[in-house]
Each structure stands twice: as structure tokens, then as C-alpha cells.
Amino acid sequence: MNALFVTIKEKIDGEVLDAAGPQLKVVATISVGHDHLDVAECRKRGIRVANTPELLTDATAELTLALLLCTSRRLPEALNAVRDGGWTKWSLTWMVGPGLADATVGIVGFGRIGQAVAKRIKPFQVARILYSNRSERPNDIGATRVTFDELLKESDFVICCIAFTPDSKEIFNRSAFEKMKKTAIFINTSRGGTVDQAALVEILKEGRIRAAGLDVTTPEPLPLDSPLLKLKNCVVLPHIGSATIEATNAIAEMTARNILAGLTGDRMPGELK
Ligand SMILES: O=C(O)C(=O)CO
């Protein structure tokens, strides 16, 4: 085998590389995230590694918005009520949730996806967009860089778009959730590993924040007896961030191109540097 075409579900480590054999030249993942690849180990063995950045930015940003609105406006709860007879009459305060207009939105991780989310949030007439990121990201959206703690304290909606690395592992722990407003909504379309999930369950149970919307969890799929699935104030999606027809076709093609270029020694469109 000369090349591996992998998804986010295949962990590529030294053991897999040993099994693949010394003729392996390329590992290409059909994803932007590459936390499932031991890139250093690949490099050590002279194996080229590539991902599919950019092509799923729009899809993931769209899904982030959809999940945010789904969570804030309680759409799954409302749909269930229509279906199970819970919708008995129209009532003024039934199914109310917070709006985006005049809200402060905080985006943790302001790379391509974070910025694409910010662009899509802005037309909802939010008051402020804050972001936390290792470096300043000049932008024409009017988003302001603040510290992680400041963002947690100030935001009505906290959106996690940060890449999953050892540094971002469980940055959303009990202490982080406790800094958030009691009325805040937490959205995660990055990786489940950025969240201490047991702490999130407790925080949601206690009503210490209003709600959470998660497209990513630990593990995936989430077991059916997960406490997250029993909470009314938690919306869980099955990791469908990039699942538009357009993005899926585009990343499939790019992964094939990455492999072909990697094997012929040409420039790979998504080579991880
Ligand atoms: O490409 C990725 O990293 C994904 O998580 C797809 O949603």
C-alpha cells in the first residue's frame, strides 16, 4: 500500500504505519481536522500528509448557525411538541428563547471557520462579536479580540471553533462554564475533546448556563444512555458540520488529488506543513 485515504474516524499512529509498511508514501485525510493523525510520526518516516482545508468552511459555518438557532429557539423541543401532542394551544411565553439581535457573540478560535461564522452572524444585527485567538486576526467584520475569560464573561452565545490540539483539550471545563453568563448558550462544532463533557452535563443540569448545542461529542456516536441526550436544554447533532453535497464532493476530489500528487512527488493541494 502506497497511500492511505482516511476519515476522521481512523486514528493513524505508529502502529498503523508499521502495519502499512515502509512503501507508504502518503496519508490523506478527507477532513480539515487532523487530530486523528500522528503527523510527527509520519514526518519522521518521510510520509507526506494532507488534509482538505477551506473546502468545508462554508458548510461548517452554515451548520454552526443552524445549530445555534436550533438551540436558542428550541426547535427540537418545538418539533417534538407538534408530534407528541404537547402543542395544545398557542401560549405567549411557551418555547421562548433568546434572540441574536443586540446580543454579544463570542467565538473561540478565529481561523477560517470562526471568521466564516462571524460573517454569517453579523447580519443578525448582533451588538458585538468577540473572539479569542492566539494572535490578532485583522477583520472587516468588526470583531474584537479579547481574552478567553473576558469572552466567557461577556458573551450571550459562546461558539467553539478552535482546532483540537493538546492546548485546547477540555478548555471548556467547569471553571470555564462557571465564568459564562447564566443565560448563555454554548455551541460546539469543533471537536468533542475541547469540552469536559461530564462538567457540561452538570452545568446544564444545574441550569448554570441556559443550553448547549453540540455537533461534536466524546465519543462519537454518543451512546444512547448518555446523560446529554436526556437533557432538554441540550441539542446534539451527529457530527454533520461538513455534510453539504457540495463540500463532500469537493473534499473527496481534493483528497484524491492530494494522493495523486503525493505519489508523483508533485505539490499536494492540502499538504500539512
Ligand atoms: O473535516 C473535519 O475535520 C470535520 O470534522 C468534518 O465535519
- pTM for the model stands at 0.96
31 lines ligand 1 (CB under 6 A): yes
Q: pLDDT by residue (tens digit) across 23-74?
A: 999 999 999 999 999 999 999 999 999 999 999 999 999 999 999 999 999 9
Q: How confident is the model at residue 1 (pLDDT cuts 50, 70, 90)?
A: confident
Catalytic residue among 24, 56, 239, 272: 239
CA-closest candidate to residue 245, choices 56, 38, 99: 56
The predicted-structure confidence for 101-140, as pLDDT tens digits, reads as follows 999 999 999 999 999 999 999 999 999 999 999 999 999 9
Contact in structure between 238 and 220 (CB atoms under 8 Å): yes
User: Residue 29 in contact with residue 3, Cβ under 8 Å?
Assistant: no
Q: What is the three-class DSSP state of 199?
A: helix
pLDDT digit string, tens, across residues 4-16: 999 999 999 999 9
| The predicted structure's pLDDT at residue 149 | 98
- The answer, yes or no, to whether residue 257 has pLDDT greater than 90, is yes
**219 prior amide bond cis, ω within 30:** yes
Instruction: Please tell me if the CB atom of residue 37 comes closer than 6 angstroms to any atom of ligand 1.
Output: no
Instruction: Determine the Cα angle at 65 with ends 56 and 137, to 5°.
Output: 65
What is the end-to-end Cα distance of the chain in Å, rounded? 23
For residue 273, name the pLDDT band (cuts at 50, 70, 90): confident
Residue 234 identity: C
Is the C-beta atom of 188 inside 6 A of ligand 1?
no
Please state, in angstroms and rounded to a whole number, the distance separating the CA atoms of residues 99 and 83.
25
**Phi, psi (rounded to 5 degrees) for 214:** -125, 125
* 159 C-alpha to ligand 1 centroid (Å): 16
ipTM higher than the 0.90 cut: yes
Q: How far away, in angstroms, is 262 Cα from ligand 1 center?
A: 21
User: How close is the Cα of 256 to the center of ligand 1, in Å?
Assistant: 17
Residue type, 225: D
Q: What is the pLDDT of residue 231?
A: 98
Provide mean pLDDT across the span 145-167: 98
Residue 121, pLDDT score: 98
Please name the residue whose Cα sits nearest to atom 2 of ligand 1: 31
Pick from 244, 250, 251: nearest CA to 61: 244
Model confidence band, residue 87 (pLDDT cutoffs 50, 70, 90):
very high
